[in-house]
A and B are shown apart, each in its own frame.
Chain A
């Protein structure tokens, strides 16, 4: 009997201590993690809009240089809210893509797509979160790969093509990641879905912004 009491007591103490430690760690770090995520989002948007900033003035610069528009729409069967960050000087627009528009192979791919004022030409893509295979699909988050999208357009839908000869690529074609065809396909779907949805809602609300 004593053996079971001892075991139960140990499990109860272990559970209480580990829960307490995890709750404490969450309490200590939650605000900082949120602040870091907010700063990362703002820094990526300001970088795409080519606005000078540093980490002491980022929030002030962002507030002064960026106008935020939010519109509700229906996507599939769900009602979603779309956010647009527009640069006050160049009219470049940044939109966010995420799990609503398709997932990666192992988890969501969340990021920012920045477009010229024509709402068609890509200025920059940044990945905020992804869980693809390190070294393969994970290449999707690298600057070297993402820079290949700069200058590409959505006129005919973006195409990510396996074995593409970059020198002969059309305006809507980008090479796939070597050894990560599924991630490349999913990334193409996410970008095209996100662009199409955002572009149509942006156009529908043009009058309200005028």
Chain B
């Protein structure tokens, strides 16, 4: 068993996974996807929807970019990523509206907002365009899940303090006085900043350091 873990530790897939989840967490270390993190972490259900949506889109767009990476001229690579990501998101949005209207209704603006998430473009440029499809898929999954974990943690704190609920179920009793600030953007800044500090402190990460 020990040998298995030692061997696993030296596989590229496992290291890509570990980096995406923790060592290069997209929110805490790369400081990407902050706009959406601030906007949607006031409810846990929003965090789940956004986290899953971004994970799916990062995986799919990274895989496609990795597949055609040898044909993409370097001068137009950013435009290419943008076209692929936005086309992909629009098609998903159309099919959701046509075949799963209630799910599309629940996700609302989130699906469209995924296009503007820096993590999607960031992983395409930093990883997918230089690696084969299988690793691009693992990286997309790990980056999306790393983002979702921070979102879930932040939204749990914000929803409980702002609304006295968790997944819309009351958890704080009737006398609870809501902290309205936690439902607003400043509350998002406080909580996300605490997580950035916590994760960087645990990793002893220094900006610009080795």
CB of A10 within 8 A of CB of B72, answer yes
1/0 per residue, CB under 8 A from B, across A1-19: the answer is 0010011001100110010
Interface pick from B15-23, B37-45, B143-151: B37-45
Q: How many contacts A-B (CB < 8 Å)?
A: 71
Given known pairs A7-B75, A40-B101, A134-B43, the reply for A14 and B80 (CB within 8 Å) is yes
Chain B residues bordering chain A, tally (CB within 8 A): 31
Q: How far is the CB of A145 from chain B (nearest CB, A)?
A: 12
Specify which of B72, B87, B97, B108 is in contact with A22 (CB 8 Å cutoff): B87
**B39, B40, B73: which has the most chain A beta carbons within 10 Å?**
B73
Task: Let me know if A99 is at the binding interface, CB within 8 A.
Answer: no
Given A6-B73, A10-B72, decide whether A136 and B42 contact each other with a Cβ distance below 8 A.
yes
Asked if residues B94 and A26 are in contact (CB atoms below 8 Å), the reply is yes
> B186 CB to closest chain A CB, in angstroms?
11
B91 contacts chain A at the CB level, 8 A cutoff = yes
Q: Which of B79, B99, B108, B162 contacts A134 (CB 8 A)?
A: B108
CB distance from A140 to the nearest CB of B (A): 12
- B109 contacts A3, C-beta separation under 8 Å: no
The yes or no answer to B167 lying at the interface (CB within 8 A) is: no
Please determine whether A18 and B83 come into contact, CB atoms closer than 8 angstroms: yes
Chain A 146-169, CB-CB to B under 8 Å as 1, else 0, gives 000000000000000000000000
Q: Which residue of B lies closest to A31 (CB)?
A: B98
User: How close is B158's CB to chain A, nearest CB, in angstroms?
Assistant: 9
Q: Which residue of A is nearest B107, CB measured?
A: A134
Which among A21, A36, A131 is the interface contact of B91 at CB below 8 angstroms?
A21
Among B43, B80, B97, point to the contact of A135 (Cβ < 8 A).
B43
Q: Which residues of A contact B94 (CB under 8 A)?
A: 25-26, 29, 33
Name A36's closest neighbour in chain B (CB-CB): B101
Q: Are A22 and B183 in contact (CB under 8 A)?
A: no
A33 near B183 (CB under 8 angstroms)? Answer: no
Q: Which residue of A lies closest to B86 (CB)?
A: A18
Interface string of B67-90 (1 = CB under 8 A from A): 000011101100110011001001
Inter-subunit contact B98/A29 (CB<8 Å):
yes
Question: Which A residues touch B122, using CB under 8 A?
Answer: none
Question: What is the bound-complex CA distance between A178 and B165, given in angstroms?
Answer: 14
What residues on A are CB-neighbors of B80 within 8 Å? 10, 14
* Bound: A3/B74 CA distance, A: 10
Q: Does B196 contact A (CB under 8 A)?
A: no
Number of interface residues of A (CB under 8 A): 27
Secondary structure of the B contact surface, majority rule: helix
Please determine whether A178 and B110 come into contact, CB atoms closer than 8 angstroms. Answer: no
Q: Is B203 an interface residue (CB 8 A)?
A: no
A interface footprint on B96-117 (CB within 8 Å = 1, 0 otherwise): 0111010000001110000000
Q: Are B97 and A29 in contact (CB under 8 A)?
A: yes
User: Counting chain A CB atoms within 10 Å of each CB, which of B46, B75, B87, B98 scores highest?
Assistant: B98
A134 in contact with B40 (CB, 8 Å): yes
1/0 per position for B162-204, CB-CB distance to A under 8 A?
1000000000000000101001100000000000000000000
B205 within 8 A of A: no
Q: Are A21 and B87 in contact (CB under 8 A)?
A: yes
> A residues within 8 Å of B by Cβ?
3, 6-7, 10-11, 14-15, 18, 21-22, 25-26, 28-29, 32-33, 36, 40, 130-131, 133-136, 138, 178-179
Known contacts A133-B39, A136-B183; 16 additional CB pairs below 8 A are A3-B73, A7-B73, A10-B76, A10-B80, A15-B83, A18-B87, A21-B87, A21-B91, A22-B91, A29-B94, A33-B98, A134-B40, A136-B42, A178-B180, A179-B162, A179-B184
Can you offer 12 A-B residue contacts whose CB atoms are under 8 A? A3-B73, A10-B73, A10-B80, A11-B76, A11-B79, A18-B84, A22-B87, A29-B99, A33-B94, A135-B43, A136-B183, A179-B162
